[in-house]
């Protein structure tokens, strides 16, 4: 319909009116089809004009008709791209722009018109998710947005971007690089209790995890050898993980305190509530591994917590530190002294890593 076309108002009927009513019906503005602009249809037109911020007169002229045309598109209905000279208009473009903006990409004004700013923001999204950077909003982008809608509700741009970054990595564990970090080592034996050293427990569980994942084809890198003499600090371990382009870092420690009754397993991810910082993927993996260990091994659940320790803060990938139990506690120490239990802990950690990278079914 061009600007030359007539206006349609109350009492009019004919093929064009049928089309107008069909559009109103499709966006839910009227309840049933009509071939005449009666009172109900006129009211629906007015309501639609009001909701779009255009002149409310109940008459369908070129602008109202164009807006009805735009309103019929939902994100995913058609491929969107920047087409100079003939820009795509539509509600699907508005939704895309809103999403890009929520994810922290600057799409400019949310006006429902696919312009250069929208294209640039879309390319940023594609770059960060590792999908081809062509500025075209097609099935891969629809899928990424759909998934984010499912997993992140009212998230921050950082959370959205971490999710977007993780999405293309959910292709199974076999092509991943996992850094396993046995705490302490060398002169530094870590904490002590019931004749067990933290460095031994950490190294043994780490080696067991390495064996289980290596069998699946995963590249597993340990930050230290079991019998190292060197002391490697947390910053060096973080640099090692970054230089290895690891997909995930799992650091293994054990705890000990003065009180003999303190017991259980806890997992830590990067975050500081006071500063509003949080690695949502770190938290997700921490929750996975924590529940896996607690349910499989039967250690007390001391839950997951946000911390800003160097290893968690300086790594550029999700990183989690697990305190597998208290050496100072009789029950936990007996468990950790048992090679079968350490193997069970290693299995739980490997299982959590597998499910973290498991492809999504849909
Ligand atoms: Zn430690």
CATH number of 34's domain:
1.10.101.10
Q: How far is the CA of 150 from the centre of ligand 1 (A)?
A: 36
Are 302 and 218 in a shared domain?
Answer: yes
Mean pLDDT, residues 21-41:
94
Per-residue pLDDT reduced to its tens digit, 137-171 = 999 999 888 888 877 777 788 888 888 888 888 89
Domain count, the chain: 3
252 and 230 inside one domain = yes
User: What tens digit of pLDDT does each residue of 130-139 get?
Assistant: 889 999 999 9
For residue 174, give both structure tokens: 């076999």
Above 60 in pLDDT, residue 3? no
Q: How far apart are CA 88 and CA 147, in angstroms?
A: 24
Q: Are residues 116 and 163 in the same domain?
A: yes
Among the listed residues 291, 285, 304, the one whose alpha carbon sits nearest the alpha carbon of residue 358: 285
CB neighbours (10 Å) of residue 211?
13
Q: Is 31 in the same domain as 154?
A: no
Backbone angles phi, psi at 185, to 5 degrees: 115, 160
Q: For residue 197, report the distance from its CA to the centre of ligand 1, in Å.
A: 10
Distance 233 CA to ligand 1 centre (A): 11
Instruction: Output the average pLDDT for the chain.
Output: 92
214 with 235, same domain? Answer: yes
In the reported structure, the alpha carbon of residue 163 is separated from the centroid of ligand 1 by a whole-number distance in angstroms of: 29
| Rounded Cα distance, 110 and 121, in Å | 12
**Same domain assignment for residues 183 and 266:** yes
Residue 201 parent element (H or E)? helix 198-214
276 in the same domain as 339? yes
Measured from the Cβ of residue 143, the count of other Cβ atoms closer than 10 Å reads 15
Sequence-distant (≥ 6) Cβ neighbours of residue 244 within 8 angstroms:
177, 179, 221
Query: Please, what is the angle between helix 339-356 and helix 330-337, to 10°?
Result: 80
Q: Is the pLDDT of residue 129 over 70?
A: yes
CA of 348 to the centre of ligand 1 (A): 20
Q: Residue 9: inside a domain, yes or no?
A: no
Are 132 and 234 part of one and the same domain?
no
Whether 261 has a pLDDT exceeding 50, the answer reads yes
Cβ neighbours around 302 below 10 Å, total:
18
Same domain for 195 and 281, yes or no, is yes
Do residue 21 and residue 53 come from a single domain? yes
Question: Is residue 245, in this structure, part of any structural domain at all?
Answer: yes
Q: Which of 146, 167, 188 is the last residue of a domain?
A: 167
Within a domain: residue 81? no
pLDDT above 80 for 340: yes
- Return the pLDDT at 148: 80
Establish if 361 belongs to a structural domain: no
Q: Cα-atom radius of gyration of the chain, to the nearest Å?
A: 29
| Inside any domain, residue 4 | no
**One domain, residues 337 and 204:** yes
Residue 1 has pLDDT above 60, yes or no: no
Cβ atoms of 253 and 135 closer than 8 Å: no
* 268: containing domain: 177-356
Task: CATH number of the domain at 296, please.
Answer: 3.40.630.40
Instruction: With both helix axes pointing from N to C terminus, report the angle between 339-356 and 280-297 in degrees, rounded to the nearest 10.
Output: 140
The sign of the torsion formed by the CA atoms of 135, 138, 144, 150 equals: positive
From the CA of 217, how far away is ligand 1's center (Å)? 29
- The CA 262 to ligand 1 mean position distance, Å, reads 16
Asked if residue 8 belongs to a domain, the reply is no
In a domain, 78, yes or no: no
């Amino acid at each position: 319909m061009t600007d030359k076309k007539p206006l349609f108002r109350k009492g009019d009927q004919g093929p064009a009116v049928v089309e107008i009513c069909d559009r109103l019906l499709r966006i839910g503005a009227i309840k049933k089809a009509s071939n005449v602009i009666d009172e109900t249809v006129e009211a629906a037109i007015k309501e639609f004009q009001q909701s779009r911020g255009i002149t409310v007169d109940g008459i369908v002229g070129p602008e109202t008709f164009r807006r009805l045309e735009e309103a019929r598109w939902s994100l995913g209905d058609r491929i969107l791209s920047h087409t100079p000279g003939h820009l795509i208009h539509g509600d699907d473009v508005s939704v895309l722009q809103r999403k890009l903006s929520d994810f922290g990409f600057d799409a400019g004004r949310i006006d429902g018109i696919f312009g250069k700013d929208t294209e640039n923001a879309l390319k940023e999204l594609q770059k960060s998710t590792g999908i081809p950077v062509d500025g075209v909003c097609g099935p891969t982008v629809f899928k990424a947005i759909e998934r984010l809608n499912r997993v992140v509700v009212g998230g921050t741009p950082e959370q959205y971007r971490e999710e977007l970054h993780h999405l293309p990595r959910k292709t199974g564990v076999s092509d991943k690089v996992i850094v396993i970090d046995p705490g302490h080592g060398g002169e530094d034996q870590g904490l002590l209790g019931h004749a067990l050293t933290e460095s031994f427990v950490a190294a043994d569980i780490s080696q067991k995890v390495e064996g289980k994942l290596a069998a699946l084809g995963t590249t597993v890198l340990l930050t230290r050898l079991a019998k190292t003499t060197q002391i490697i600090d947390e910053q060096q371990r973080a640099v090692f993980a970054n230089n290895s382009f690891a997909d995930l870092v799992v650091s293994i420690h054990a705890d000990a305190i003065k009180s003999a009754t303190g017991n259980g397993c806890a997992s830590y991810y990067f975050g500081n509530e006071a500063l509003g910082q949080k690695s949502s993927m770190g938290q997700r993996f921490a929750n996975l591994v924590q529940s896996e260990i607690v349910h499989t091994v039967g250690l007390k659940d001391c839950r997951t917590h946000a911390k800003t320790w160097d290893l968690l803060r300086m790594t550029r990938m999700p990183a989690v530190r697990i305190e597998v139990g208290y050496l100072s506690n009789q029950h936990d120490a007996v468990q950790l002294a048992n090679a079968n239990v350490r193997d069970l802990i290693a299995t739980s950690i490997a299982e959590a890593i597998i499910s973290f990278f498991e492809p999504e079914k849909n």
